[in-house]
Structures are given as C-alpha cells and as structure tokens.
Amino acid sequence: MKYFGTAVFFVLFATAGLAAQGRESSRGFYDYSVESIDGKSIELKQYKDKVALVVNTASRCGFTDQYKELQSLYDKYKTKGFVVLGFPSNDFAMQEPGSNAEIKKFCALNYKVKFPMFAKGKVLGPAKQPVYQFLTGGKNFGGEISWNFEKFLVNRNGQVVARFEPAVSPLDPKVTASIEGWTAASK
C-alpha cells in the first residue's frame, strides 16, 4: 500500500507538470506584456490583429540605417494590418548605450521613427526578457539572436512564421513577400 501511494503521488505530480508545460508552450507572442520606451506597461495583445515584424535594435551599429527601411515598411503596410515593433538592446558590443529617452530622441531625429519602440532590454542569454525567450525558443525559428537587427515575423495568432538575419534588409524581396503573404492570408 505504501508503494501504491507513492506511485499515485508520482503520477499526479508528473501529470501536473506536463499540464503546466502544455499551458506555457501554448503561449503566443501576443500573450506577453512589455515596457514601452516611455516606461508604460504595454500588453502585446493590442497588436493581435496585426502581423508584426519584431526587431532588436541599436543606435551605434553598422545596421542602424535599417531604422529608415523599417519605417518605410511600416508606412507602406500599416494600413494592411502590419506593425514594426522595435526592441533596443545593448547586448552586442555595447552598441545601444543610451537611456530609453536618448534612444527615442535619436530614432525620431535621425530616422523619423513612428513605429512602436519598447524599453531597452536583454535579448540574449539567460536574462533575456520573456518575449525574447518566446521568440528564440521555438522549434522552427528558434536559437539565440546573432546580432542587432535580427527580425522575426509574427502572424496574427502570435506564431513566429519567419526569421531574417541582421544583414537582410527590411526591404529585401523575401521580407516584403512574407509580409504581403501574411497580411493577405490573415484577414
């Protein structure tokens, strides 16, 4: 009887763990909350009706001019249910040393950025912010971020559907074709 009780306890414990694991893995991108560049708590579910290009950014990087292209993409496709979401990070060669206010000012003055920007945070390693744990933790498009301006395309259901390396221009035909395909398919 003693062993039966232990076995029942083990089965219940294992089942509860699997159920919790299933709930966690069923989370989508839009189930997370983040901090805006202005310090406000933002629930990403406000973008759920949109296809999102999520980009880790930096102001002192060889790819920083991609801000201009990201803004161009945002302007071109925002009426079709598309949004660019910028996440500044100082994880790569200390290329984003500024405060959130300095980053916001830099982006507005130099690139006229109007797409949503979020607070500077970690996108690499065990201390990365939860939304980046989600983005980099998937089977199909998972793996650590390689550098600034890595791009994830997220559909309206919160699933990562494409990933583009930092050197790939936001205006590259494979990026725009993916955006066009997902905005058309997701209506």
Report the SS3 class of residue 73: helix
- Record the tokens describing residue 91, joined without a space: 């994880």
The pairing of beta strand 160-164 with beta strand 51-57: unpaired
DSSP 36: B
User: Cα separation of 19 and 178, whole Å?
Assistant: 34
The pairing of beta strand 51-57 with beta strand 82-88: parallel
Is position 61 annotated as part of the catalytic site? yes
Catalytic residue among 35, 61, 80, 122: 61
- Record the tokens describing residue 147, joined without a space: 């550098």
How many C-beta atoms lie closer than 10 Å to residue 123's C-beta?
26
Catalytic residues: 61
